[in-house]
């Protein structure tokens, strides 16, 4: 397997992307995206080969909740180009190439948010769904396997794993390691790890789930490939299971025992933690009276007491939460083997780290309004700086050789 580095523009979009981070920020600030859409459509009318305009238009459609439109427009973009650039925010002595999979937001690590305002030039190379790889690669100092764990991404991850030792530049996040962090695979990886509780997940087809053999109530069920609570249910009886199957057409599901992790005050607390080369960083803390906790459905925007608690959590994280679960974080880093991985987790009543999910596609961003969350920008900048420092360490031999 041979690869060459090329600065040729064939297959490269002629103009930089506006990008996911900028478009999402505009949407969260309540901006009217219609003028931007009109500008992109006008660009396409002038030049149908403007792949960046097609891809930005697809991103707007996803942000607006139109996934089918997103996928169709993305396909139009990728027929025209596979390599896309982002306009650097400043001097960029180091170039990061994201190895991407076609798909929606959860198909890839959302690197744009992590690199906002930094001095790393980000390029995106979209790989074919069958995993075939180009022989000529865009010039870069470091490659990052952005394609996340998903059934549809397996051909890409498998081909990248086979190609990894031939890659001409350092690679962040080994593709085989990403493929291993399925919900059931991660539970097996972490079995008997000290200080960690990962409910044993099983993958079941619809027929096996409907038969209900060996299932103890309560358990949670979700369609394979779902995220952010989509299709997630707690099943406490046969009637609950029948009702769930009646409302979903999905064929494959993950099931796992339900662990009641509410605190003494009756509230549920869910944490998102980033591990960067094994070092833990607090991303957010969500507090809710409901067991299915996500930051957007938790009582954070409207509850000052919850925000105050999150602020204290972030301020004291290094000496409290990170120390209490240091052994658990070391085990996760060692057993996943990932340079960058995120955990959605909680604490059991016995004080152990309860991990719901590990993955590389969860979002870390600095989009929350600073007037409501004044404690977040410094914390996010801490994460962004650590991430950029990791990328620079990985690329240091290449940069030294080129200088």
Tens digits of pLDDT across the chain (403 residues): 788 887 766 689 999 999 999 999 999 999 999 999 999 999 999 999 999 999 999 999 999 989 899 999 999 999 999 999 997 666 667 999 999 999 988 999 999 999 988 889 999 999 999 999 998 999 999 999 999 999 999 999 999 999 999 999 999 999 999 999 999 999 999 999 999 999 999 999 998 888 876 788 999 999 888 776 677 899 999 999 999 999 888 789 999 999 999 999 999 999 999 999 999 999 999 999 999 887 777 788 889 999 999 999 999 999 999 999 999 999 999 999 999 999 999 999 999 999 999 999 999 999 999 999 999 999 999 999 999 999 999 986 554 444 4
Residue 143 near residue 97 (C-beta atoms within 8 A): yes
- Beta strand 94-100 with 120-126 is parallel
pLDDT at 226: 75
The pTM assigned to this predicted structure is 0.93
Domains of the chain in start order, with CATH, are 4-173 (1.25.40.10), 201-257 (3.30.1490.20), 268-393 (3.30.470)
pLDDT at 402: 46
Task: Give the whole-angstrom CA distance, residue 49 versus residue 52.
Answer: 9
Backbone angles phi, psi at 139, to 5 degrees: -65, 140
pLDDT at 90: 64
At residue 362's C-alpha, the angle toward residues 384 and 191, to 5°, is 110
pLDDT at 91: 66
Tell which residue, 99, 100, 41, has the closest CA to residue 73. Answer: 41
Tell which residue, 207, 232, 190, has the closest CA to residue 354. Answer: 190
Contacts of 97 (CB under 8 A, 6+ apart): 123, 124, 125, 137, 138, 140, 142, 143, 144, 169
Contacts of 161 (CB under 8 A, 6+ apart): 174, 175, 176, 179
- Beta strand 202-205 with 142-145 is unpaired
Burial zone of 367 (CB within 10 Å; 0-12 exposed, 13-18 middle, 19+ buried): middle
Cross-strand bridge partners of residue 353:
196, 347
């Amino acid at each position: 397997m041979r690869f060459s580095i090329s600065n040729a523009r064939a297959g490269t979009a002629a103009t930089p992307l506006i990008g996911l981070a900028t478009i999402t920020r505009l949407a969260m600030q309540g901006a009217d995206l219609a003028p931007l859409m009109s500008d992109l459509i006008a660009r396409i009318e002038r030049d149908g080969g403007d792949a960046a305009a097609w891809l930005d238009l697809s991103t707007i459609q996803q942000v607006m909740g139109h996934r089918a439109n997103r996928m169709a427009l993305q396909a139009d973009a990728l027929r025209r180009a596979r390599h896309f650039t982002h306009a650097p925010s400043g001097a960029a002595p180091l170039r990061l190439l994201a190895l991407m999979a076609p798909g929606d937001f959860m198909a890839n690590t959302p690197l744009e948010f992590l690199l906002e305002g930094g001095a790393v030039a980000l390029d995106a190379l979209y790989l074919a769904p069958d995993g075939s790889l180009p022989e000529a690669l865009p010039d870069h100092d470091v490659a990052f396997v952005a394609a996340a764990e998903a059934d549809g991404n397996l051909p890409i991850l498998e081909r990248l794993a086979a190609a990894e030792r031939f890659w001409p530049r350092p690679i962040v996040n080994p593709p085989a390691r990403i493929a291993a962090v399925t919900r059931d695979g991660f539970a097996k990886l972490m079995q008997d790890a000290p200080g960690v509780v990962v409910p044993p997940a099983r993958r079941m087809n619809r027929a096996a789930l409907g038969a209900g053999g060996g299932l103890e109530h309560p358990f949670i069920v979700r369609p394979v490939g779902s995220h952010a609570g989509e299709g997630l249910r707690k099943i406490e009886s046969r009637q609950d299971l029948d009702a769930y199957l009646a409302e979903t057409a999905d064929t494959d599901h993950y099931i796992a025992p339900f662990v009641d992790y509410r605190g003494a005050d009756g509230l549920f607390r869910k944490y998102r933690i980033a591990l960067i080369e094994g070092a833990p960083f607090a991303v957010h803390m969500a507090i809710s009276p409901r067991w299915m906790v996500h930051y957007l459905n938790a009582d954070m925007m409207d509850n000052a007491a919850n925000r105050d608690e999150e602020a204290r959590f972030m301020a004291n994280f290094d000496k409290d939460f990170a120390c209490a679960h240091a052994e658990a974080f070391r085990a996760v880093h060692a057993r996943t083997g990932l340079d960058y991985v995120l955990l959605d987790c909680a604490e059991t009543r016995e004080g152990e780290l309860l991990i719901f999910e590990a993955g590389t596609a969860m979002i870390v961003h600095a989009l929350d309004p600073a007037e409501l969350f004044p404690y977040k920008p410094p914390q996010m900048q801490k994460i962004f700086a650590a991430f950029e420092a990791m990328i620079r360490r990985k690329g240091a031999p290449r940069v030294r050789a080129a200088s």
